Amino acid sequence: MGALVRRSAVIAAMFIFALTTTSDAKLNGELANPNVPTTVQLEEKSLNRRSGPHAIQDTDTANTARVEGNAPNRRSGPYAIEETDTAIILNAEGEPISNRDLSELRIPILVYHHVREHEGWAKSTWSWKMTVSPTNFDQQMQWLTDHGYTTITLDTLVKILDGKKQGPEKPVVLTFDDNNINVLENGLNAMTSRGHIGVFYLVANRLDQPGVIGRTHIPDLLSKGMDIQSHTMSHAGLTNLSNAQATTELAESKRLLEEATGKTVQHVAYPLTMHNQRIRDLTKAAGYVTGTIMDPRPIKGTDDRMKLARIMMTDDTNLEQVLP
Ligand SMILES: [Zn+2]
């Protein structure tokens, strides 16, 4: 156990180090709860190592049913569905899709952090892992187009899961964390030129900071079909916080982002993917419909909505391998 905690602490420390050594160091300075020394936070949290960049994962695995590598091909499966507002989803035979069918639904949620050129970072560093080069990002957007994927919002995803909306044949959700302005500078055109949309999880206390995605960018993003959701107030690891502190992070960011966008904010990405049952309960109580974590697989219809998997995108992610 001690070894696991130490190893995990090193991994998490690498994560934070990578964040704080990027050009956005100032912005990520508030990653840690200022009331608790970072080393204590890391040691108090048991982290399970996963392969690759998905190194941080909660230990609450009791109801984690993992299904990998056997996602159905939705072109040939029962989901011959189209984007309509029809309340009931029908299968190829014209019959309503049952709960069993929904349990076979696979929808990938991808997460990007930086769209920028690499600066000679080693492949083992978080700087490398959190970066997708502009050229590769452009190619990935084209790959989605070429392979028939339709980008959707998280609101649409929830409607599909609830059986209230028929989604596109091959839905995918693109998400962007941490307010990184290089996504707009180097990636936005690659999306909009192909009709792709994405969800920007914004840290609310960065809304008025210069040099990041903030309040001034929101009208343009919304006009291009992009969605704004919450990455909390300060990017603190929620599991380190008291109930009251965590609730403030969740509820206050929701309120500020709703004020800034004029739209409902009901999805949160847990900072540093730190969450547990207590945090998920508080998230739900704060009015959120989904919470997302890092887990390299598409979500399925039966997943806990408060811990939906996201696939972290790096320059060596092979879309063909990670998408259903
Ligand atoms: Zn983040």
CA distance 146 to 141: 9
Name the pTM for this structure: 0.73
Contact present, 151 and 197 (Cβ < 8 Å): yes
- Residue indicated by tokens 């998490």: 12
Distance 201 CA to ligand 1 centre (A): 8
Question: How do beta strands 308-312 and 109-112 pair?
Answer: parallel
Q: Taking 60 as the threshold, does the pLDDT of residue 129 lie above it? A: yes
pLDDT band of 295, cuts 50, 70, 90: very high
Q: How far is the CA of 271 from the centre of ligand 1 (A)?
A: 5
Q: Is the pLDDT of residue 122 over 60?
A: yes
**Separation between Cα atoms, residue 101 and residue 123, nearest integer Å:** 40
Instruction: Give the tens place of pLDDT for each residue, 235-281.
Output: 999 999 999 999 999 999 999 999 999 999 999 999 999 999 999 99
d(CA 89, CA 78): 10
Query: What pLDDT is recorded for position 91?
Result: 56
CA of 120 to the centre of ligand 1 (A): 22
- From the CA of 235, how far away is ligand 1's center (Å)? 6
Residues 6+ apart with CB under 8 A from 261: 218, 222, 228
How far is the centre of ligand 1, averaged over its atoms, from the C-alpha of 96 (Å)? 39
C-alpha to C-alpha distance for 264 and 283, rounded to whole angstroms: 15
Q: Are 312 and 18 in contact (CB under 8 A)?
A: no
Distance 190 CA to ligand 1 centre (A): 22
Ligand 1 centroid vs 273 CA: distance in angstroms? 8
CA 171 to CA 193: how far, in whole Å? Answer: 18
Q: How far is the CA of 140 from the centre of ligand 1 (A)?
A: 21
CA distances from residue 318 to 24, 110, 171, 299 in whole angstroms, order as listed:
27, 12, 17, 18
We find that the CATH architecture of domain 78-322 is Alpha-Beta Barrel (3.20)
Question: How far is the CA of 204 from the CAs of 293, 307, 312, 320, in angstroms?
Answer: 18, 21, 22, 34
The pLDDT assigned to 102 comes to 72
Q: How far is CA 310 from CA 32, 59, 121, 174, 299, in A?
A: 22, 17, 24, 9, 8
- Please state the rounded mean pLDDT for residues 164-185: 94
Confidence band (pLDDT; 50, 70, 90) for 163?
confident
Tell me the CA–centroid distance for residue 105 and ligand 1, in Å. Answer: 27
- Tell me the domain boundaries of the chain: 78-322
Distance 225 CA to ligand 1 centre (A): 22
Over residues 153-172, mean pLDDT: 91
Asked if 186 and 115 touch (Cβ cutoff 8 Å), the reply is yes
Report, as an integer, the average pLDDT of 192-209: 98
Q: What is the pLDDT of residue 324?
A: 81
Least confident piece of the model among 187-196, 215-224, 268-277, 309-318? 309-318
Distance 202 CA to ligand 1 centre (A): 9
Taking the centre of ligand 1 as the mean of its atom positions, its distance from the CA of residue 91, in whole angstroms, is 38
What is the Å distance from ligand 1's center to 15 Cα?
10
76 CA distance to ligand 1 centroid (A)? 36
Give tens-digit pLDDT for 43-98: 333 333 343 444 344 434 333 333 333 333 333 333 333 333 444 555 555 555 54
pLDDT band at 162 (very low <50, low <70, confident <90, very high): confident
Q: What percent of the chain has pLDDT over 90?
A: 62
Compute, in angstroms, the gap from residue 162 CA to the centroid of ligand 1.
Answer: 28
